[in-house]
């Protein structure tokens, strides 16, 4: 121990003469486990400032992904419904095809609207079935449109993003998904 102290003194003398600090001798302020006196708790404060921002970003990415997934599923349902309407199937079958293709639990048949373009009035009119009930009444080469309206997306984050337009009571009403095809 005495020899070691003597070596430390010798190193410190050499440091004073040369102006450099030896890597072999560490001063107490630089030894492991010691912190600078003004830095106590700074990391905790920085973490407390950054955590809400990171959580908001993470929840936003998650919620946006779920909204986009629901909208893509609505668009897929509208696409399948338009294809079913274009081949002349009856309206209950078209609505059921939309619901089956979309695979969304809150999608109801009354949210699916089927219409065709009337060239005489230049407007969209509701599609009905023929008396036989085996096909719809849209004539060949007419335009048929299937629209899914007002789908309520259940917010995964609850009321965290309640400031979004269309939010009400834990649900966000999604934009209409629509597809148009020519009747075969």
Q: What is the pLDDT of residues 71-109, one digit of tens each?
A: 999 999 999 999 999 999 999 999 999 999 999 989 999
pLDDT range class, residue 2, cuts 50, 70, 90: low
- Please give the Cα distance from 48 to 55 (Å, whole number): 11
Cβ partners under 8 Å of residue 136, min gap 6: 85, 88, 89, 90, 91, 94, 114, 127, 128, 129, 130, 144
Q: State if pTM tops 0.75.
A: no
Q: Which residue has the higher pLDDT, 115 or 38?
A: 115
Secondary structure tally for the chain: helices H, strands E: 3, 7
| pLDDT tens by residue, 36-78 | 555 778 888 889 999 999 999 999 999 999 999 999 999 999 9
- 143-148, strands of its sheet edge to edge: 123-126, 112-118, 143-148, 177-182
Show the tokens assigned to 8.
Answer: 């430390």
What's the pLDDT score for residue 95?
95
For the beta carbon of residue 18, count every other beta carbon within 10 angstroms.
9
């Amino acid at each position: 121990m005495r020899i070691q102290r003597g070596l430390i003194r010798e190193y410190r003398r050499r440091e004073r003469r040369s102006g450099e600090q030896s890597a072999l001798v560490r001063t107490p302020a630089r030894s492991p486990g010691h912190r600078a006196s003004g830095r106590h708790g700074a990391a905790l404060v920085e973490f407390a400032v950054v955590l809400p921002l990171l959580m908001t970003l993470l929840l936003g990415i998650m919620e946006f992904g779920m909204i986009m997934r629901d909208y893509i599923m609505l668009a897929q349902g509208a696409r399948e419904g338009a294809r079913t309407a274009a081949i002349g199937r009856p309206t209950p079958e078209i609505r059921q095809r939309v619901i089956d293709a979309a695979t969304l639990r809150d999608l109801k048949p009354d949210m699916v609207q089927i219409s065709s373009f009337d060239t005489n009035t230049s407007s969209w009119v509701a599609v009905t079935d023929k008396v036989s009930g085996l096909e719809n009444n849209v004539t060949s080469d007419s335009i048929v449109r299937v629209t899914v309206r007002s789908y309520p997306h259940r917010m995964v984050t609850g009321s965290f993003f309640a400031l979004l337009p269309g939010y009400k009571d834990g649900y966000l009403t999604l934009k209409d998904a629509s597809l148009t095809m020519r009747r075969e």
